[in-house]
Protein backbone atom coordinates (compact mmCIF):
# COMPACT_ATOMS: atom_id res chain seq x y z
CA UNK A 1 0.00 0.00 0.00
CA UNK A 2 1.46 3.34 -1.00
CA UNK A 3 1.81 5.85 1.81
CA UNK A 4 2.97 8.87 -0.14
CA UNK A 5 1.24 12.13 0.67
CA UNK A 6 1.24 12.63 -3.06
CA UNK A 7 -0.95 9.59 -3.43
CA UNK A 8 -4.49 10.34 -4.55
CA UNK A 9 -7.42 8.16 -3.70
CA UNK A 10 -7.75 4.40 -3.90
CA UNK A 11 -5.48 2.11 -5.80
CA UNK A 12 -6.78 1.01 -9.14
CA UNK A 13 -9.25 -1.80 -8.72
CA UNK A 14 -8.94 -2.82 -12.33
CA UNK A 15 -12.57 -1.97 -12.88
CA UNK A 16 -12.54 1.77 -13.49
CA UNK A 17 -14.00 2.69 -16.88
CA UNK A 18 -14.08 6.41 -17.54
CA UNK A 19 -14.62 6.69 -21.28
CA UNK A 20 -16.43 9.91 -22.03
CA UNK A 21 -15.79 11.42 -18.60
CA UNK A 22 -13.34 13.97 -19.92
CA UNK A 23 -13.51 16.30 -16.96
CA UNK A 24 -12.90 13.58 -14.38
CA UNK A 25 -9.45 12.93 -12.95
CA UNK A 26 -10.56 9.65 -11.38
CA UNK A 27 -8.74 7.40 -13.84
CA UNK A 28 -5.61 9.55 -13.62
CA UNK A 29 -5.67 9.39 -9.82
CA UNK A 30 -6.26 5.63 -9.79
CA UNK A 31 -3.37 5.01 -12.19
CA UNK A 32 -1.03 7.36 -10.30
CA UNK A 33 -1.81 5.59 -7.05
CA UNK A 34 -0.44 2.39 -8.65
CA UNK A 35 2.83 4.09 -9.69
CA UNK A 36 5.71 3.65 -7.26
CA UNK A 37 8.43 6.20 -8.07
CA UNK A 38 11.99 6.25 -6.70
CA UNK A 39 12.93 8.69 -3.97
CA UNK A 40 15.56 11.40 -4.22
CA UNK A 41 17.06 14.08 -2.01
CA UNK A 42 17.57 17.28 -4.01
CA UNK A 43 19.83 20.01 -2.65
CA UNK A 44 20.28 23.63 -3.70
CA UNK A 45 22.46 26.59 -2.76
CA UNK A 46 22.24 30.33 -3.37
CA UNK A 47 24.71 32.65 -1.67
CA UNK A 48 25.02 31.47 1.92
CA UNK A 49 21.67 29.67 1.80
CA UNK A 50 21.50 25.92 1.37
CA UNK A 51 18.49 23.67 1.31
CA UNK A 52 17.36 20.17 0.48
CA UNK A 53 14.22 18.06 0.52
CA UNK A 54 12.83 14.64 -0.35
CA UNK A 55 11.53 14.53 -3.92
CA UNK A 56 9.35 11.98 -5.66
CA UNK A 57 8.46 14.11 -8.68
CA UNK A 58 11.63 13.61 -10.74
CA UNK A 59 12.52 11.86 -13.97
CA UNK A 60 14.95 11.79 -16.89
CA UNK A 61 13.20 13.76 -19.63
CA UNK A 62 15.68 13.73 -22.58
CA UNK A 63 18.41 11.37 -23.83
CA UNK A 64 20.21 13.65 -26.28
CA UNK A 65 20.94 16.06 -24.80
CA UNK A 66 20.70 14.38 -21.40
CA UNK A 67 18.15 16.17 -19.23
CA UNK A 68 16.54 15.45 -15.88
CA UNK A 69 13.48 17.17 -14.44
CA UNK A 70 12.93 17.85 -10.74
CA UNK A 71 9.63 19.31 -9.54
CA UNK A 72 9.69 21.42 -6.39
CA UNK A 73 6.66 22.62 -4.44
CA UNK A 74 6.30 26.37 -4.26
CA UNK A 75 5.67 25.95 -0.52
CA UNK A 76 9.07 24.43 0.22
CA UNK A 77 12.16 26.23 1.36
CA UNK A 78 14.16 24.16 -1.12
CA UNK A 79 12.12 25.72 -3.93
CA UNK A 80 12.83 29.25 -2.69
CA UNK A 81 16.58 28.58 -2.60
CA UNK A 82 16.50 26.71 -5.93
CA UNK A 83 14.86 29.68 -7.67
CA UNK A 84 18.25 31.41 -7.80
CA UNK A 85 20.47 28.34 -7.68
CA UNK A 86 22.37 27.71 -10.93
CA UNK A 87 22.99 24.10 -9.96
CA UNK A 88 21.01 21.42 -8.14
CA UNK A 89 22.27 18.12 -6.80
CA UNK A 90 20.14 14.98 -7.12
CA UNK A 91 20.86 12.13 -4.69
CA UNK A 92 19.34 8.68 -5.13
CA UNK A 93 18.01 7.02 -1.99
CA UNK A 94 18.59 3.27 -1.65
CA UNK A 95 16.83 0.71 0.49
CA UNK A 96 18.73 1.47 3.71
CA UNK A 97 18.24 5.25 3.47
CA UNK A 98 14.82 5.48 5.13
CA UNK A 99 16.27 7.66 7.89
CA UNK A 100 17.43 10.27 5.37
CA UNK A 101 14.04 10.18 3.64
CA UNK A 102 12.33 10.99 6.93
CA UNK A 103 14.88 13.68 7.72
CA UNK A 104 14.68 15.50 4.39
CA UNK A 105 10.96 14.94 3.86
CA UNK A 106 9.65 15.34 7.38
CA UNK A 107 11.54 18.47 8.41
CA UNK A 108 11.63 21.89 6.81
CA UNK A 109 14.73 24.05 6.60
CA UNK A 110 12.48 26.91 7.72
CA UNK A 111 12.57 25.37 11.22
CA UNK A 112 15.75 23.31 11.45
CA UNK A 113 19.22 23.12 9.91
CA UNK A 114 18.89 19.85 8.02
CA UNK A 115 22.64 19.66 7.47
CA UNK A 116 23.55 19.75 11.16
CA UNK A 117 24.32 16.22 12.31
CA UNK A 118 24.67 14.63 8.89
CA UNK A 119 27.86 14.02 6.95
CA UNK A 120 27.92 16.43 4.00
CA UNK A 121 30.33 18.55 2.00
CA UNK A 122 30.07 21.51 -0.31
CA UNK A 123 29.75 20.28 -3.89
CA UNK A 124 29.19 21.82 -7.33
CA UNK A 125 27.69 25.28 -7.13
CA UNK A 126 28.06 25.17 -3.34
CA UNK A 127 25.17 22.68 -3.14
CA UNK A 128 25.41 20.24 -0.24
CA UNK A 129 26.53 16.72 -1.14
CA UNK A 130 25.21 14.12 1.31
CA UNK A 131 28.29 11.92 1.69
CA UNK A 132 26.47 8.62 2.13
CA UNK A 133 24.52 8.87 -1.12
CA UNK A 134 25.17 8.56 -4.85
CA UNK A 135 24.51 11.81 -6.68
CA UNK A 136 24.83 13.86 -9.82
CA UNK A 137 24.92 17.60 -10.27
CA UNK A 138 22.83 19.42 -12.85
CA UNK A 139 22.96 22.92 -14.27
CA UNK A 140 19.52 24.50 -14.21
CA UNK A 141 18.74 25.16 -17.88
CA UNK A 142 15.03 25.94 -17.49
CA UNK A 143 12.31 26.49 -14.92
CA UNK A 144 8.73 25.71 -15.91
CA UNK A 145 5.74 26.60 -13.76
CA UNK A 146 3.54 23.51 -13.94
CA UNK A 147 1.08 24.41 -11.17
CA UNK A 148 1.77 24.04 -7.47
CA UNK A 149 5.18 22.56 -8.40
CA UNK A 150 7.85 24.12 -10.63
CA UNK A 151 9.95 21.95 -12.95
CA UNK A 152 13.69 22.53 -12.79
CA UNK A 153 15.22 21.12 -15.97
CA UNK A 154 18.78 19.99 -15.34
CA UNK A 155 21.74 19.33 -17.65
CA UNK A 156 23.54 16.63 -15.63
CA UNK A 157 27.29 16.64 -15.04
CA UNK A 158 29.69 15.17 -12.50
CA UNK A 159 28.73 13.18 -9.47
CA UNK A 160 29.37 9.78 -7.98
CA UNK A 161 27.83 6.33 -8.26
CA UNK A 162 29.57 3.85 -5.96
CA UNK A 163 26.88 2.13 -3.96
CA UNK A 164 24.82 -0.93 -4.63
CA UNK A 165 21.39 -1.84 -3.39
CA UNK A 166 17.88 -1.25 -4.57
CA UNK A 167 16.38 2.17 -4.96
CA UNK A 168 14.08 3.20 -2.11
CA UNK A 169 10.60 3.42 -3.55
CA UNK A 170 7.87 5.67 -2.23
CA UNK A 171 5.83 2.65 -1.13
CA UNK A 172 8.63 1.70 1.28
CA UNK A 173 8.90 5.08 2.97
CA UNK A 174 6.21 4.60 5.58
CA UNK A 175 4.33 7.55 6.96
CA UNK A 176 6.32 10.74 6.55
CA UNK A 177 4.45 13.91 7.44
CA UNK A 178 5.94 16.46 5.02
CA UNK A 179 7.71 19.40 6.64
CA UNK A 180 5.58 21.72 4.55
CA UNK A 181 1.91 21.14 3.81
CA UNK A 182 0.99 19.31 0.64
CA UNK A 183 -0.34 21.78 -1.92
CA UNK A 184 -4.11 21.68 -2.14
CA UNK A 185 -4.64 19.79 1.11
C1 LIG B 1 6.93 10.75 -0.21
C2 LIG B 1 7.20 12.24 -0.35
C3 LIG B 1 7.44 12.76 -1.61
C4 LIG B 1 7.67 14.14 -1.77
N5 LIG B 1 7.91 14.63 -3.02
C6 LIG B 1 8.15 15.96 -3.17
C7 LIG B 1 8.44 16.50 -4.46
O8 LIG B 1 8.46 15.81 -5.47
N9 LIG B 1 8.70 17.83 -4.55
C10 LIG B 1 8.70 18.64 -3.44
O11 LIG B 1 8.96 19.84 -3.57
N12 LIG B 1 8.41 18.16 -2.21
C13 LIG B 1 8.15 16.85 -2.05
N14 LIG B 1 7.88 16.35 -0.81
C15 LIG B 1 7.75 17.27 0.34
C16 LIG B 1 9.06 17.79 0.93
O17 LIG B 1 10.08 16.82 0.93
C18 LIG B 1 8.81 18.26 2.39
O19 LIG B 1 7.72 19.14 2.47
C20 LIG B 1 10.05 18.89 3.01
O21 LIG B 1 9.85 18.92 4.41
C22 LIG B 1 10.33 20.29 2.51
O23 LIG B 1 11.49 20.78 3.12
P24 LIG B 1 12.01 22.26 2.89
O25 LIG B 1 10.93 23.21 3.33
O26 LIG B 1 13.25 22.34 3.73
O27 LIG B 1 12.31 22.41 1.44
C28 LIG B 1 7.66 14.99 -0.63
C29 LIG B 1 7.43 14.45 0.64
C30 LIG B 1 7.19 13.09 0.79
C31 LIG B 1 6.95 12.54 2.17
Asked if residue 155 lies in contact with residue 86, where contact means CB atoms within 8 angstroms, the answer is no
Q: Identify the band that residue 16 occupies on the pLDDT scale cut at 50, 70 and 90.
A: low
Q: Identify the band that residue 182 occupies on the pLDDT scale cut at 50, 70 and 90.
A: confident
- Give, as one character, the DSSP assignment of residue 124: G
Q: Per residue in 40-94, pLDDT tens?
A: 999 999 999 999 999 999 999 999 999 999 999 999 999 999 999 999 999 999 9
Q: Per residue in 97-135, pLDDT tens?
A: 999 999 999 999 999 999 998 999 999 999 999 999 999
Q: Per residue in 126-168, pLDDT tens?
A: 999 999 999 999 999 999 999 999 999 999 999 999 999 999 9
Contacts of 23 (CB under 8 A, 6+ apart): none
Say whether domain 37-173 belongs to CATH 3.30.160.270: no
Rounded to an integer, what distance in angstroms lies between the CA atom of residue 30 and that of residue 14?
9
Instruction: Select from 180, 181, 182, 185 the residue to mutate for testing ligand 1; criterion: most ligand atoms less than 8 Å from CB.
Output: 180
Give the count of beta carbons closer than 10 Å to the beta carbon of residue 157: 12
| Three-class SS state of 123 | coil
Query: Terminus-to-terminus CA distance in the chain, angstroms?
Result: 20
Instruction: Provide the H-helix boundaries in 34-97.
Output: 77-82
Using the mean position of ligand 1's atoms as its centre, give its distance from the Cα of residue 26 in Å: 24
Rounded to an integer, what distance in angstroms lies between the CA atom of residue 108 and that of residue 17?
40
pTM, to two decimals: 0.91
22: left (phi over 0), alpha (psi -120 to 50) or beta: alpha
Residue 29 predicted with pLDDT over 70 = yes
Residue 37 predicted with pLDDT over 50 = yes
Rounded to an integer, what distance in angstroms lies between the CA atom of residue 71 and that of residue 60?
12
Instruction: Select from 44, 51, 54 the residue to mutate for testing ligand 1; criterion: most ligand atoms less than 8 Å from CB.
Output: 54
Q: Where are the domains of the chain?
A: 1-35, 37-173
Q: What pLDDT shows up at residue 168? A: 94
Rounded to an integer, what distance in angstroms lies between the CA atom of residue 177 and that of residue 144?
27
Residue 183 predicted with pLDDT over 80 = no
Amino acid sequence: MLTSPYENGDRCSGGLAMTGARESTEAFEAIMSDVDPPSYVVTAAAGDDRAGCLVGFATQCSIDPPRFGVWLSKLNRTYRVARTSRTLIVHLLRDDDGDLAGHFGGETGDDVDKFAGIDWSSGPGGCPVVERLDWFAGSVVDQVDTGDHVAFVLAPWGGRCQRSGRQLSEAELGDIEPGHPIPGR
